[in-house]
Structures are given as C-alpha cells and as structure tokens.
C-alpha cells in the first residue's frame, strides 16, 4: 500500500467521529499520487479488505468534493456497483457517500428497492435514501 494511502486511511479512521480536517488535506495528496483516472478502481484494489467499509466510504465521499469533475467519475463507478448488486461491501460503500446515487430518482428507487430485497443488511439504508430523496424532490 502506498504510504499516503495508509496515512489517509488512518487519518479518516481517527477523524470519523469529528471533522475531516487532516483527511481532506491528505485526500489532495492522494489525488496527486493516484491521479483521477480510474481512481475508485485503483483505490479499491489497494485498500486492504480488512479496512472497515465505513472508512472506504468516507475516503470516497471526501474525494467526491476533491476531484475536478465534482465526483462524477466516482459516482459513476459506485452507481455501477449498485446496479451489479453482487458485492455487499461495495454496496455499503456506495450507499454511504453523502450523495444520492443515480441522477434520476426513479432509477434510484428501482435499484435500491431491488437491493433492499436482495440484501436485508442494507434495506434500512436503502429506504432512508429513498424517503429522503422524495422529501427533497417534493
């Protein structure tokens, strides 16, 4: 694992209950090392499986605000994880990015409803996202 990735993961884990001050600074350094092209794929491959999914979701959420495309490439990949719906770790990460998955609410509702039925472990989060987005859109 690249030292800056390890340092970033440790900072995020330490700052999870507070503010992500150091983590945002390290995310910028992480971008300088990894670049933006295929960032999610590279990081997901390099982050050890033992790293809590919550920490991975936090790093991706921070990077959404740090990339030049405002996270479009990140959300495209994580939305695809939800469509595939076969990896619970990836699903959990994609559901906890502090953004709504999918640009269209109807598509989000359809996919999250399906995921909730397939994976009861994430059903509550799926329902929360659906209800929250309905409230925002109405």
Distance, CA of 3 to CA of 32 (rounded, Å): 13
Going from N- to C-terminal start, the domains of the chain cover: 3-71
DSSP 103: S
**66, 31 Cβ separation under 8 angstroms:** yes
Report which secondary-structure segment, H or E, holds 18: none
Tens-digit pLDDT profile for residues 26-56: 999 999 999 999 999 999 999 999 999 999 9
* Overall average pLDDT of the 117-128 stretch: 97
Higher pLDDT pick, 19 / 85: 85
Tens-digit pLDDT profile for residues 78-107: 999 999 999 999 999 999 998 999 999 999
């Amino acid at each position: 694992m690249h030292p800056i990735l390890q340092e970033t993961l440790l900072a995020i884990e330490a700052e999870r209950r507070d503010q992500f001050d150091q983590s945002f600074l390290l995310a910028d350094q992480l971008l300088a090392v990894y670049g933006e092209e295929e960032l999610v794929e590279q990081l997901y491959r390099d982050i050890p499986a033992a790293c809590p999914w919550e920490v991975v979701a936090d790093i991706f959420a921070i990077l959404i605000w740090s990339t030049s495309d405002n996270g479009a490439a990140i959300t495209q990949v994580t939305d695809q994880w939800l469509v595939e719906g076969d990896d619970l770790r990836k699903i959990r990460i994609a559901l906890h990015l502090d953004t709504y998955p999918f640009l269209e609410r109807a598509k989000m509702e359809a996919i999250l409803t399906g995921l909730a039925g397939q994976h009861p472990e994430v059903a509550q989060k799926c329902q929360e996202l659906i209800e929250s987005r309905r409230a925002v859109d109405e």
